[in-house]
Amino acid sequence: MKRLKLKLHTQIVIALFLGAIFGAIFHIDKNLVEITHVENGIEKKVEIKNWSTFSFVANETKTYSSKDQLLIIQKFKLASQDERKKLHLNVDGKIFENVKSIDKVKTIALYIKPIGDIFIRLLTMIAIPLVLASLIVGAASLGDIKRLARVGGKTISIYLVTTALAVSIGLILANLIQPGIRMPQSTKEELLATYQTDVAKKIESEVDIDVVSQIVNLVPKNPIRAMAESEMLQIVFFALFVGIALTFVRKEKSQPVINFFDGLSDTMIKLVDLIMKIAPYGVFALISATVGEFGFEILQTLIWYSLTVLLGLFIHTVFIYSGMIKLFSKMKVKTFFRGMRRAQTIAFSTSSSAATLPVNMECCEENLGISKNITSFTLPLGATINMDGTALYQGVATVFIAQVYGMDLGIIEQLMVVLTAVLASIGTAPVPGVGIIMLIIVLKAVHVPEEGIALILGVDRILDMCRTVTNITGDATVSTIIAQSEGELRKPDLSEA
């Protein structure tokens, strides 16, 4: 009997849907916590469900109902060692002392997450050597410094313009829809209390807002260390410099070096084919863990904010990129989006432009027909500095938080948001959840309280998945346009898409 062979893209999409359904069925129970405590010298784990009163110390007036799972867990995390010793949990009259931890109870949807983690790690493992090798070859194969300056100048300028456009779309929508004004005061207080510890950790992660030191930091003291620490901007800087230098070295010496890096980059791309064999399983595990943990409920709480971000991403991805492809290339818009499907689903499930880079390069070269000369230069650069989705979301988030705090951002402040969001998105590492840390820079620039990120933290993971799709689609759009303008665009071939 002939076996039905579905295309990889179809398999991934099916995995995505099934994963979401699986996660929704086996989601974390919000009325359940696991208390680990020591009784008579023995550590015990007790699961508690549907409590009606939960208090932390004897005679405490504030009690928590079973709706307050996250608040209870946060409150325990916030307690100092001393305070923990004095804890005297009272759950519906049952007392727990010597409490070690209070946690959510994992379900099967979360236990399978390691499969997804392995998938992301495999793709990320390729990303650093791929960025290094392909950028060196990309810069060197543009031939001479003049061409490099021309292509580099065009690429970076379009990246910057599209990012500024993305923030502006975000700002316009947030001003029109006013998601912050639609949020009830009670929801605001609840979200601020629930996410306060996570925010404290993020604010501590110290983002450098000094532009001069950011520029100084572009130059790695030690390129090996830059690679070891995944400092993408430093790797890009080093690779471009090596590529440029190679164009000045005598051919018999430069060619073996170029061949080596070319071979390395091809090997990494080949690895992608192997890794993609487990893509459906990886995607299934990632989506089911995300839906199982975060659910869709938080989307309801932040419905206006989420809709504003999603609408902005949709407009930018579908209309702006289509318009650009139509205006500046001979490729059909439909062909472009069909050729990009696989990379987009991987971006959605991994939330990482770096992990998606190898797949994006493959889609652009094999499906869209962009020459390797162009993809190897534009895509690693784009994955590192071009984040339209992230910038758009930062624009919406800033106005949203300001509105919730009753602040009115004037035109000058909004222009400041455009400028800082463009810079912040360049500095955003292409991995999950960094956009929200870089948002702190934008908030600081316009004096919006940074603690406000507590309001949006709950939906961040889901929106991160969506903005990463925009980020990588933007890189491919610019790559297509540059390839067209340089005469490096072959006929697309969608047979493998």
Chain residues binding ligand ASP by CB under 6 A are 351-353, 387, 390, 428, 430-435, 464, 467-468, 471
Nearer to ligand ASP, 74 or 351 (CB): 351
Interior CA angle at 252 toward 248 and 255, to 5°?
75
Query: Could you tell me the two tokens for 489?
Result: 């665009």
State residue 222 phi and psi, 5-degree precision.
-145, 110
DSSP letter for each residue of 355-404: HHHHHHHHIIIIIS-B-HHHHHHHHHHHHHH--HHHHHHHHHHHHHHHHH
Phi/psi region, residue 45 (left: phi>0; alpha: psi -120 to 50; beta: rest), is beta
CB of 310 to ligand ASP, least distance (A): 14
Least gap, CB of 394 to ligand ASP (angstroms): 8
The secondary structure of residue 105, as a DSSP letter, is P
From 460, 435, 440, select the one nearest 450 (Cα to Cα).
Answer: 440
For ligand ASP, the closer of residues 162 and 352 by Cβ is 352
Q: Are 159 and 387 in contact (CB under 8 A)?
A: no
Nearer to ligand ASP, 89 or 465 (CB): 465
| Shortest distance, position 100 Cβ to ligand ASP, whole Å | 33
CB of 430 to ligand ASP, least distance (A): 4
To ligand ASP, the closest distance from the beta carbon of 351 in angstroms equals: 5
Cβ 374 to ligand ASP shortest distance, Å: 21
Q: How far is the CB of 262 from ligand ASP (least distance, A)?
A: 26
Indicate the residue type of 31.
N
Of 387 and 462, the one with the shorter C-beta distance to ligand ASP is: 387
For the CB of residue 397, give the shortest distance to ligand ASP in the complex, in Å: 11
**137/418 with CB nearer ligand ASP:** 418
Select the residue whose beta carbon is closest to ligand ASP and give its number: 435
C-alpha distances out from residue 440 to 175, 448, 452, Å: 20, 9, 9
For residue 42, the surrounding DSSP H or E stretch is strand 42-49
CA-based nearest residue to 243, from 370, 374, 142: 142
DSSP 78-102: HS-HHHHHT--EEETTEEE-SEEEE
Nearer of residues 19 and 432 to ligand ASP, judged by Cβ:
432
User: Among residues 24 and 156, whose Cβ is nearest to ligand ASP?
Assistant: 156
Positive/negative CA dihedral, 440, 352, 163, 400: negative
What whole-number distance in Å separates Cα of residue 164 and Cα of residue 420? 10
68 versus 464: smaller Cβ distance to ligand ASP: 464
Nearest CB to ligand ASP, comparing residues 113 and 461: 461
User: Residue 348 Cβ, how far from ligand ASP at the closest point, in Å?
Assistant: 11
Identity at 144, one-letter amino acid code: D
